[in-house]
Structure 1
Amino acid sequence: MSRLDLNLLIALDALLTERSVTRAAARLHLSQPALSASLARLRTHFDDPLLARRGNAYELTPLAVRLAERTGTALEASRRVFEVQADWSPENSTHEFIVFGSDYAFATVGQAASRLAAATAPGVRFRFELHTPAIVEDAENQLRVADGLLIPHGHITDLRSTELWSDNWVIIADTDHPDLGESLRMEDLAEQPWVFTYQTRSAFTSAGQQLQSLGIDPRVETVVQSFLALPHFIRGTRRLGLVQRALAVGLTAIPGIRVHEPPFDAVPVVNALWWHPVHENDPQHAWMRTLFTRAGRSVAQRQLGGR
């Protein structure tokens, strides 16, 4: 490490992202000879060309592909080290918090947290990024350099968390569904096709799993990783879909969508904010956690008021 320069990490990230010395130099506002010199040092260090010419373009070598998966994370971690302040106040901060989650989480507690922050910390910014199964499965490493993950209990263990609020499941269907009555029956759930939002080992909904535990094997015609998009795959079809009650009111504003109560006692959605222990004693992170706790309470109060 004593022989390495942190600026080489910046150069490496730009080179692997742009796959061009010219474009990487422009991105970093450096001369092309200066970045070529950095590339030469990196090639010597890794004993690998990193960028290999193929015709008129460059391709990443197998080692460079592996490095590309780590450089962004390493840069973010380095940036956060040098952003730490002895005295931090939200009123004067321009910090950016990075939070993973689903569109459901962003449309509910994420939106509420953003509004609360704007009122007391106008310079603070949130970057809400959609999670993926890979992020959830690798949450411990991902949350070293991100601030939090908004996801219900049941997906992650061994990380710090705080409960935000509880929600319930409802089932949506087309208003003119020819096979459904005023209320759903368990037989309907078995006979009708479904749209699921997630269906992998680490990405699932608790109610979807519960259906299987009740002896119903849903006939899934479509999987879409978006709760907000769900009605568009249901309207005009015989399909059913599971969605959280907090979103249901807004989704019914889409013509042709009707909300049904499930014919079984669906397990509630216990929404939580998760973070890595490395952030535990960080005052700005503690402020963010308090903000999301307040946001969760406001979402819960709105749900109670809307019933």
Structure 2
Amino acid sequence: MRLDRFDLNLLVVLDVLLEERNVTRAAERLHIGQSATSAALARLRDYFGDSLMVQVGRRMELTPLAQSLMAPVRDALMRARSAIAMRPTFEPASIGRTFSVAASDYMLDVLLARVVRDLASSAPGMRLDIRRTPHDVLEAFERGAVDLLIIPEQYAGKLQHPQVQVLEDEHVCMMCADAAKDMADLTLDHYFERGHVSIRLGDERSLAFEEWFLPRYGRQRRVECTVDQFSVAPLLVIGTDRIVTMHRRMAEEMAQRFPVKLFNAPFEMQPLKEVMVWHRYLDEDLAHRWLRDAILSVADRQHHSERLSAICHQEDTASPG
């Protein structure tokens, strides 16, 4: 099919070529021969009047025009795929569709696990492919490799796509219960004197959290262990004097299952705000919108439950005897 003399079949080839920057790898992904891919590249070069890819040493580099085509070509294909997947009506109970979701194990523990359980009855044919947040998460999202992304607000702000906050949490410090049995609270001096387990969810995030201390206190934490997931944090402090700084919701669940003790963080830090982000082209997708609403509904129910528990705890504390 042609549009303004352009063969639309070449749009898929162009997208893969711009991402791979290699004819052989592009041919493998497209499941066509290398000669056919080379022929398609020749036709694209002829249409645009540009080399698109040029040899630089052993690598192929994109020309300025090719770089400017990456975003609009990918956006056009994603919108086309979304349009094909759309149906005039949406029935949750009869849907058969998979959405990829990128989120930390923290978000899986405190929110998404409940969503998945709810879907088992309300939309059994809707499958969530939940993946750990990749190191190149922003790039992966822009490539369309992720249908729904849940990340901290400061990173979501870099994406010019629809987004909404799903939860807010504060930071606490976790220690081995034996190592902290004589401690009533955790002072800033104690915090810096002890070794730390650092939770690194990507090079950029880890660096941002570590450097947060230096301009404020002129000191750095002594990081003795790093890990890329929250769920193993208790296992890395039990039997040691180390501290791990993490989010309260998950830490309180862990404190019920592991011999650990929690302390309020001995410093002021902005609360964590987790934001759900989706592509513009999925904004009107009925199934995707239903999934977003389901996630927000679970988050809202949990928020009200936590507020009720906090009120009951205050009343119990205030009651005489």
TM-score by length of 1: 0.70
What is the distance in 2 between the residues matched to 1:204 and 1:237? 22
Given that 1:172 and 1:258 are in contact with CA atoms closer than 8 Å, whether structure 2 keeps it comes out as yes
Provide closer, same or farther for how the CA distance between residues 224 and 67 of structure 1 changes in structure 2, counting only shifts above 3 A: farther
Q: Which residue of 116, 121, 124 maps to 2:123?
A: 121
SS at match of 2:205: coil
Instruction: Tell me the residue number matched to 1:41.
Output: 43
Percent identical among aligned pairs is 23
Cα deviation for residue 104 of structure 1 reads: 1.0
Instruction: Tell me the residue number matched to 1:149.
Output: 149
Which 5+ residue runs of structure 1 have no aligned equivalent? none
Provide closer, same or farther for how the CA distance between residues 205 and 173 of structure 1 changes in structure 2, counting only shifts above 3 A: farther
Cα deviation for residue 82 of structure 1 reads: 2.5
What is the distance in 2 between the residues matched to 1:209 and 1:194? 14
Report 1:214-233 matches (<5 A): 215=217, 217-221=219-223, 222-233=225-236
Given that 1:150 and 1:271 are in contact with CA atoms closer than 8 Å, whether structure 2 keeps it comes out as yes
Given that 1:108 and 1:299 are in contact with CA atoms closer than 8 Å, whether structure 2 keeps it comes out as no
Instruction: Tell me the residue number matched to 2:289.
Output: 286
Cα deviation for residue 63 of structure 1 reads: 0.8
Cα deviation for residue 227 of structure 1 reads: 1.9
What is the distance in 2 between the residues matched to 1:53 and 1:270? 43
**Higher mean displacement: 91-100 or 25-34:** 25-34
CA root-mean-square deviation: 4.7
SS at match of 2:92: coil
What is the distance in 1 between the residues matched to 2:39 and 2:209? 56
The number of equivalent residue pairs is 299
Deviations 1:149-191 (A, max 9, x none): 3234455457644443443433122344389635423321132
Which 5+ residue runs of structure 2 have no aligned equivalent? 314-321
Given that 1:210 and 1:266 are in contact with CA atoms closer than 8 Å, whether structure 2 keeps it comes out as no
SS at match of 2:88: coil
Provide closer, same or farther for how the CA distance between residues 143 and 226 of structure 1 changes in structure 2, counting only shifts above 3 A: same
What is the distance in 2 between the residues matched to 1:267 and 1:238? 26
Instruction: Tell me the residue number matched to 1:185.
Output: 187
What is the distance in 1 between the residues matched to 2:202 and 2:21? 32
Given that 2:21 and 2:60 are in contact with CA atoms closer than 8 Å, whether structure 1 keeps it comes out as no
Instruction: Tell me the residue number matched to 2:196.
Output: 194
What is the distance in 1 between the residues matched to 2:213 and 2:289? 38
Instruction: Tell me the residue number matched to 1:62.
Output: 61
Name the aligned partner's letter for residue 142 of structure 2.
Q
Cα deviation for residue 105 of structure 1 reads: 1.1
Report 1:246-285 matches (<5 A): 246-248=249-251, 251=254, 258-262=260-264, 264=266, 268-275=271-278, 279-285=282-288
